[in-house]
Chains A and B, each alone.
Chain A
Amino acid sequence: MEGITKNFPGVIANDNIDFAVEEAEIHGLLGENGAGKTVLMSILYGLLHPDAGKIFIKGKEAENYSPAQAIKLGLGMVHQSFMLIPSFTVAENIILGIEPTKSKLLLNRDRMVNDVKEISDRYRLNVDPKARVDTLPVGVQQRIEILKALYRGADVLIMDEPTSVLIPSEVEELFKALLALKKQGKTVIFISHKLKEVLAICDRVTVLRRGSVVGTVRACDTDMEKLAMMMVGRKVVLTIEKRGTMAGKVVLKLDNLRAFNDRGLPALRGIDLEICESEILGIAGVEGNGQTELVEVLMGLRKAEGKVFLDNNDISEMSTGKRIEGGIANVPEDRQKRGLIEDFSVSENLILGSQSMPPFAKWSRTILDGKQISAFSRDSIKGFSIKTPSEDTPVRHLSGGTQQRVVLAREFRRKPKLIIASQPTRGLDVGATEYVRKRLVEMRDQGCAILLISADLDEIQVLSDKIAVIYEGRIVATKPVEEIKEKELGLLMGGGKHD
């Protein structure tokens, strides 16, 4: 790719990028969130058109580019969020678009299944062609995505953050598969922001920062610190100043919590948990082991068996509204889905959840008190450095980091007893991440109990006083942070047992 440039309103996503990959190599594309990696690869795959620049594939310039063209030229994309039809079978998903037929009009299901079996064996990626995709675990779904690309004759696989949803053992399996593919002459572009993995699997690494190429190095010539410097441009502080533990009385107690997920399968299989005042309990675990359901149960959004105690009161049957009034705050993992109403203004979002409570509501909770709301908003904007033109600006116009500050301001200013923080720094840049973590620790120091759920092990280790590992709906271990090591964590997260 030569001189690739792509602009979006307000941001230069790719700035005159030159990027080259050799045959039969695993080439890493490293960068932070927003560095431009996904945009560059979308251009390579024909999903986006560059404003300037050329693409050469196997020596020839690519014209009239589209994903269909890209596929013809031997490119295959494995997306970060899977492009699979949940109700279709594995085989149906793989052959979609190039369906084998009998008598030209009907689907040839036998050939479908056989074809899939054949490439599954050839590349040693085991799948059951007849299984429905929505019944399969994430690791297998990824295999289907890879097979999709290979079925179309891909020689170059573009993998976008492939390990973000895998447990350590699945990551190992993936790496083995990628090395096998390399031996068969396939090329892999490995997009990631995870330094360790990139060093482990890639032959060469290209680092992007803020839309430009910083450099291309061989993996054997570099190390994590050097890569981090290239990625971020400055020395990264990986730890946070934190006072020692000073946990008080128990604030949240969960007793044998059981719940089902949306598909009717058990998601929580008997959770026992305790969190104290001035304590951060970090729940480590790969996504999909019950964390989402746990948060929903705690917030009263999902039915469950078992008991939830807040400050010794049984709140198991309480509605969401009452729980919020009772002192539970939630920093949700999906801001779009649970956090903010994008068309509401900053001040309207700041009172969300408390809109019927004094001081925002007067005359027995029916009329909004504009003056009080305004004062509260201005106060919050100052106190949390919320970068916004005014308190009436719709929140959709704010950046991700700023939006998260609005969420924090709203939840923290309620002076809650318990804060549930789910993936609180996901999608945020380094500066915003630092800010969120700092304020969480502040709230802990002021007496809050904090339940921290994060897929980022570093974050868990840096922030938590105690760590609990969740696996398949159960807490498999709870230990103070000093007593647990990363290797052990990875093992437990993957379902392994320690002694």
Chain B
Amino acid sequence: MANLLDIINVGLFAAMLRMATPIAFSSLGGIFSERAGIINVGLEGMMLTSAFVGVVGSYYTGNPWLGLLAAVIAGGLLGLLHALLTVKFKGDQIVSGTGINIFAMGFTAYMCQIIYGSRGASATVTGFEAIPIPIPIIGDHTPLVYLMFAVAVLSHIVLFKTPIGLRIRAVGEHPAAADTAGIDVYRIKYLCVMVSGMLAGLGGAFLSLGHLNLFAWGMSGGRGFMALAAMIFGRWMPLGAFGASLLFGFADALQMRLQALGLLPPQFILAIPYILTIAVLIGFARKVTPPSDYKPYSKE
């Protein structure tokens, strides 16, 4: 029989931090986008694409940091696409995001087949190495995990303590007022959506370079959507979303341990994060006001 201590131990909490990282990055990305008034359900696709591009980058250069750079650029480009479709062409934001998700699914599998000859997984590449700080739980993680902390705090500062953050929130909440105050509404929206893509890129890069050192088909596994739930749970505040991401990370880490122990059929355990997401949304039955009405903005 499995010992409870086999499951709940220091390793679990360390894994919680690791598994929270991709969700946290994407969730912060989601916040930037939504605070500027654009819904981004394409975080999933941005993560997946970045995960792949990151691996390719590291494959050809042997350097995970260059892979990371490539991943962030890829995320930013997809963010730019989303911004073009929703801000310039005033297309439906959810359709655009879903299109990005479908694109990512197909494109990553397609290119994986082309480059590596297999649509299921790429070759192993040089990933990030853990930084051996001898403190329990928060020590011994790859750089991206520590970056997660920094980005969460930085996002909070930017949104609430800088002029640009004030403008972003103004653009999302009342674009006409921001416009008459002389703020370039379109530029801010573009910026924020691209940033959300880049942050999702960081999240995706973690999945491949910071964790498995390869790309596997569909490896984002719905985390882009969990990131949205974390964002709502955190009431569109960076620190809140970070906290919520820890919860999801915990569920993910738990799920992996349970699977390894083989106590239940894998399908039940694999479903845990998704059920948790729904539970989180249910738990938010009380009034949660989004920071924007997300209507496309047009100057007359």
Direct contact of A and B (CB under 8 A): yes
Measuring CB to CB, which residues of chain A are less than 8 angstroms from any residue of chain B? 42, 47-48, 67-68, 71, 77, 79, 82-88, 92-93, 96-99, 101, 105-107, 148
Closest chain B residue, CB of each to CB of A101 = B163
Contact A47 B300 (CB under 8 A): yes
- Is B162 close to A, CB under 8 A? yes
Closest chain B residue, CB of each to CB of A8 = B300
Contact A97 B181 (CB under 8 A): yes
A86 to B299, CA, bound (A): 21
A87 to B170, CA, bound (A): 9
B69-93 interface with A by 8 A CB criterion: none
Contact A67 B166 (CB under 8 A): no
Closest chain B residue, CB of each to CB of A96 = B181
Chain A binder among B171-179, B198-206, B266-274: B171-179
Contact A107 B161 (CB under 8 A): yes
- Is B180 close to A, CB under 8 A? yes
Contact B161 A68 (CB under 8 A): no
Residues of A within 8 A of B176 (CB): 83
Q: A106-B161, A106-B162 are in contact. Are A96 and B173 (CB under 8 A)?
A: no
Contact B163 A85 (CB under 8 A): no
Best-surrounded residue of B161, B170, B176 (most CB of chain A within 10 A): B170
A99 to B178, CA, bound (A): 13
Q: A99-B166, A107-B163 are in contact. Are A86 and B180 (CB under 8 A)?
A: no
Contact A96 B162 (CB under 8 A): no
Contact A67 B182 (CB under 8 A): yes
The smallest beta-carbon distance between B296 and chain A, in angstroms, is 17
Contact A107 B162 (CB under 8 A): yes
Q: A84-B174, A84-B177 are in contact. Are A96 and B183 (CB under 8 A)?
A: yes
Bitwise interface map of B from 287 to 300 toward A, beta carbon under 8 Å scored 1, else 0 = 00000000000011
Measuring CB to CB, which residues of chain B are less than 8 angstroms from any residue of chain A? 157, 161-163, 166-167, 169-170, 173-174, 176-183, 299-300
Residues of A within 8 A of B182 (CB): 67-68, 71, 97-98
B157, B161, B178: the one contacting A96 at CB < 8 Å is: B178
Q: List 10 A-B contacts (CB under 8 A).
A: A47-B299, A77-B180, A83-B174, A85-B174, A85-B178, A88-B169, A96-B170, A96-B181, A97-B182, A99-B166
Contact A79 B174 (CB under 8 A): no
The 7 A-B residue pairs with the shortest CB-CB distance in the complex, in nearest-first order: A97-B181, A83-B177, A99-B163, A97-B182, A96-B181, A68-B182, A83-B180
Contact A85 B170 (CB under 8 A): yes
Contact A86 B174 (CB under 8 A): yes
Contact B161 A79 (CB under 8 A): no
Closest chain A residue, CB of each to CB of B180 = A83
Closest chain A residue, CB of each to CB of B158 = A105
Best-surrounded residue of A68, A84, A88, A97 (most CB of chain B within 10 A): A97
The smallest beta-carbon distance between B159 and chain A, in angstroms, is 11
Residues of A within 8 A of B163 (CB): 99, 101, 107
Residues of B within 8 A of A96 (CB): 166-167, 170, 177-178, 181, 183
A96 to B180, CA, bound (A): 10
Contact A97 B300 (CB under 8 A): no
Q: A83-B174, A85-B174, A107-B166 are in contact. Are A67 and B180 (CB under 8 A)?
A: yes
B162, B169, B173, B177: the one contacting A105 at CB < 8 Å is: B162
Residues of B within 8 A of A82 (CB): 177
The smallest beta-carbon distance between B189 and chain A, in angstroms, is 16
B162, B166, B181, B299: the one contacting A83 at CB < 8 Å is: B181
Further pairs besides A79-B180, A97-B183: 10, Cβ < 8 Å: A47-B180, A47-B300, A67-B179, A84-B177, A96-B167, A96-B178, A96-B183, A97-B181, A101-B163, A107-B162
The smallest beta-carbon distance between A41 and chain B, in angstroms, is 13
A47 to B300, CA, bound (A): 8
Contact A85 B177 (CB under 8 A): yes
The smallest beta-carbon distance between A37 and chain B, in angstroms, is 16
Residues of A within 8 A of B157 (CB): 106
Residues of A within 8 A of B300 (CB): 42, 47-48
Closest chain A residue, CB of each to CB of B165 = A107
Contact B183 A85 (CB under 8 A): no
Closest chain B residue, CB of each to CB of A66 = B182
Residues of A within 8 A of B174 (CB): 83-86
The smallest beta-carbon distance between A10 and chain B, in angstroms, is 16
The smallest beta-carbon distance between B124 and chain A, in angstroms, is 41
A68 to B161, CA, bound (A): 24
Residues of B within 8 A of A99 (CB): 163, 166
A83 to B180, CA, bound (A): 8
The smallest beta-carbon distance between B120 and chain A, in angstroms, is 46
A105 to B165, CA, bound (A): 10
Closest chain A residue, CB of each to CB of B178 = A96
Q: A83-B174, A85-B173 are in contact. Are A97 and B167 (CB under 8 A)?
A: yes
Closest chain A residue, CB of each to CB of B184 = A68
A179 to B173, CA, bound (A): 34
A84 to B162, CA, bound (A): 19
A65 to B132, CA, bound (A): 59
A47 to B298, CA, bound (A): 12
A392 to B175, CA, bound (A): 35
Residues of A within 8 A of B177 (CB): 82-85, 93, 96
The smallest beta-carbon distance between B136 and chain A, in angstroms, is 35
Best-surrounded residue of A47, A67, A68, A83 (most CB of chain B within 10 A): A83
